[in-house]
A and B are shown apart, each in its own frame.
Chain A
């Protein structure tokens, strides 16, 4: 899974700490997702999507092989 989290944070001028507070998770979790070391649960993915006003599939990008 790839993610556009860093790009979207830069777009909205949010640091990891602020995004973490809004998504009600720790900064460590945001950092893990950004480094693509951890796939978040649906709940956190939805929260992040709402914060950036984007669709989940436009933030978390999966390869075709991963979805098959």
Chain B
């Protein structure tokens, strides 16, 4: 009964959402705001890159301290959290950078803006590698793979212990389900945008559908094989 009510509610919201989208005929002119958006994205990127660089220095400083007892544990907790923050920030910076470069090129912005966004994106990409490789310095006693090694992700998973794998599994599963839902919402937004503006987003819709099918097939076929 609850599922039926939810389906009915979804249908009603979908119907009126589409009706509203068709009625309003939204006109979004990205070209007029592209410069400001690209500049904002570059500024965010500079902040993220700065944070990663400062954090790296702090990590090196903390790593050189000789500590024992509770302080040693607290240092490890701090380093682990800071390493996670750095990984997130460098990845976000790289992705935002790609967005900035894309907007800059597609909307035909000034060449200096494209170069600036490309440079900061390259720095972010380089930092991602530096941050990933810093884990071997964080735990020198462990035989963790180098980032340059072939099949790094699988080797890193294999080198992790059971507690770490348990945490990774929980995180990855949450990320997978969130990604699934987020991409479906993105699909709906693309459809609504295409209908309301008349600006076809069919290519993006098609790509997202393929990504969703590919990711889900990979997961479910892997599970199926392990019976």
Contact = CB atoms under 8 A, between A and B. Distances in A.
Interface of A: 15-18, 21, 24-33, 38, 40-41, 44
B163 A25 contact: yes
B162 A29 contact: yes
B73 A25 contact: no
A25 B167 CA distance: 14
Contacts of A38: 163, 166
B interface majority secondary structure: helix
A31 B162 CA distance: 13
B161 A17 contact: no
Contact of B163 (A15, A21, A26): A26
Interface residues of B, number: 18
A44 B163 CA distance: 10
Contacts of B166: 32, 38
Contacts of B73: 15-17, 27
Contact of A29 (B72, B139, B164): B164
Contacts of B161: 24-26, 29
B80 interface: yes
24 contacts: A15-B68, A15-B73, A16-B73, A17-B76, A21-B141, A24-B161, A25-B162, A26-B161, A26-B163, A26-B164, A27-B73, A28-B163, A28-B164, A29-B161, A29-B162, A29-B163, A30-B163, A32-B166, A33-B163, A38-B166, A40-B162, A40-B163, A41-B162, A44-B162
